[in-house]
Amino acid sequence: MIEVNSRPSDEEDSVSFSLRDLLAPLFRRKRVLIATFLAAFSVVVLAGILIPPEFTSHMAVLVNRERLDPLVTTEAMPEMINVSSPLSEEEINSEAELLKSSDVLEKVVLANGLQNANNHSFVQMLTKRNEADRVARAVRTLATKLKVEPAIKTNLIEVTYSSPDPQLSYGVLKALGDFYVEKHIQVHRRPGSYEFFDRETQQYQQALKDSEARLRALGQTQGVADPDDERTDMALQLAAAVGQSHVLEGAIAADEQRILSDQEQLKITPPRSATKQDTNAPNLLLQNLGTSLLAAETKRTQLLLKYEPSYPLVQEADQEVAEAKAAIAKAESAPYVNETTDRDPTFELLREDLAKNQADLAGQRASLTANRHGIDSMQAQLIELGSQSLQQADLQREAKANEQNYLLYLSKREQERTSSALDQTRIANVAVAVPPAIPVLPVHGFLFVIQVALGLAMVLSIAMAYAFEYFDTSFHTPAQVSDILGIPIVVAMPWRTA
């Protein structure tokens, strides 16, 4: 048990002796150590206070698979292509290099005025560089200070920029993101596609307006709204007119036959016929004759009173009496017949029917003539309407074709405008996933400066202490005397200052 315990104690003595030898120079050079520590600490802290702090702004760009636009075809519904392959490292590195392209950096420099950042420096005042030289140097400086690094196993590109001004750091990254996206769109977009579709859209829109104007002018000049409808109505009217013409021809033939028949009947039909016949004595004649006889006898009697029977006046009266008596005898011997006649109704009916048929025949002949003129006019109008219908159909086909082309190119133009708008709003295969922000805290705060000062002061002070120990030729321990001079040491007394 005694041997086992004695070995560890010897090992502890040797370890403690080695640590003491290692730390002994620090204790011997504690003045140098403290002075160096304080000097280094003060210099680093003072430098941290005097040097302006750096403000770093961060930005992350997300790279996706290229957004495939529909194929530019004449079809109304474009064919869509779906490709979903992962991004390659070359594609991400290409976007990173595009971020650091000289034209993009030059725009960033001009947008933030970086070329005028050191105009008041002594070197600038001596050299008096021109604007192009200052811009080129600012671009080179920006390229060195700008850190563009693709993140490992991601589609992100990390971009950082540091400057003493937080607004400048933010402005540089903000301008870089905007100009980079514009550059990316310029590189990846089809040049002039929107302008082409816009030009074609305007051309077909004007052609459609011209076609519609000619179509309206056709109706106004010819006075026809719809030749096809009017042609159909005219054909129906023509068919009805032709049928009416046949009806009139049949009516004319019937009227002519009736007129001939009426004329034949009128030749054998008397115009008048007896309607009443009375047979009786002539009482009124006898009465008149008796009155005449009485007057003649009275005259004779009066003459006989004055004259002789042989007197001429008496003989004349006798002659009148004899004539009156002879007339009365004749009247009494012959019967008196009273007969009444009137127009024959058959004759009058035939005459009226003849007159009516003749009037109807004249009217029907006039109607037939007018109907035939109407048929000829409608046939000519049908031919004209057919020509107008063909012209209208040609104009309608032209207007429809122009309308289809106009709508097609209008849709294509809207697709291109939408694509451009989507690209402008960062809906493309790249997007600023993490936009830059104005940094509030500096990269290294005062606590970090203290930590760096402490570390650097400790390292320098320890190194200085060991350097002084290394270049010091005096003996510090009995072991050094024994090892170097080979003289055994009897008594060692440490040196202490009073």
Q: Is residue 333 part of a domain?
A: yes
Q: Is residue 12 part of a domain?
A: no
The secondary structure of 433-488 as a DSSP string is EE------S-SS-HHHHHHHHHHHHHHHHHHHHHHHHHH--S--SHHHHHHHH---
Q: Is residue 436 part of a domain?
A: no
DSSP 113: T
Query: SS3 for 119?
Result: coil
Distance CA 188, CA 98 (A): 12
Q: pLDDT tens for residues 160-203?
A: 888 888 888 888 888 888 888 888 777 766 666 777 778 888 88
What per-residue confidence (pLDDT) applies to 16?
42
Amino acid letter, residue 349: L
Over the chain (498 residues), the average pLDDT of each successive run of 10 is 36 50 73 82 77 78 65 52 64 82 86 73 55 85 86 84 84 85 73 76 86 78 71 84 88 88 82 66 70 82 79 81 81 66 77 85 88 87 80 83 86 77 57 77 68 82 79 67 69 60
Q: Is residue 495 part of a domain?
A: yes
Whether the CB-CB separation of 107 and 175 falls below 8 Å is answered with yes
Whether the CB-CB separation of 117 and 173 falls below 8 Å is answered with no
What per-residue confidence (pLDDT) applies to 2?
30
What per-residue confidence (pLDDT) applies to 73?
53
Q: Which residue has the tokens 């089809």?
A: 190
- Residue that terminates a domain, selected from 281, 308, 343: 343
Q: Which residue has the tokens 């000619």?
A: 214
What per-residue confidence (pLDDT) applies to 225?
64
Q: Is residue 62 part of a domain?
A: no
- Residue that terminates a domain, selected from 343, 367, 382: 343
Q: In whole angstroms, what separates CA 177 from the centre of its chain?
A: 33
What per-residue confidence (pLDDT) applies to 493?
66
**Enclosing domain of residue 32:** 25-53+444-498
Q: pLDDT tens for residues 385-403?
A: 778 778 878 888 888 888 8
The secondary structure of 64-101 as a DSSP string is -PPPPPPP--SSSSPPP----PPPPHHHHHHHHHHHT-
Distance CA 306, CA 457 (A): 216
Q: Is residue 68 part of a domain?
A: no
What per-residue confidence (pLDDT) applies to 383?
85
What per-residue confidence (pLDDT) applies to 460?
84
Whether the CB-CB separation of 430 and 181 falls below 8 Å is answered with yes
**Helical axes 283-306 vs 312-333, angle rounded to 10°:** 160
Q: Is residue 326 part of a domain?
A: yes
What sign does the CA torsion over 283, 287, 292, 294 have?
Answer: positive
Residue of 131, 26, 7, 18 whose CA lies nearest to 461: 26
What per-residue confidence (pLDDT) applies to 7?
38
Q: Is residue 280 part of a domain?
A: yes
Whether the CB-CB separation of 159 and 148 falls below 8 Å is answered with yes
- Residue that terminates a domain, selected from 343, 372, 391: 343
The secondary structure of 157-191 as a DSSP string is EEEEEEES-HHHHHHHHHHHHHHHHHHHHHHHSPT
- What is the domain count for the chain? 2
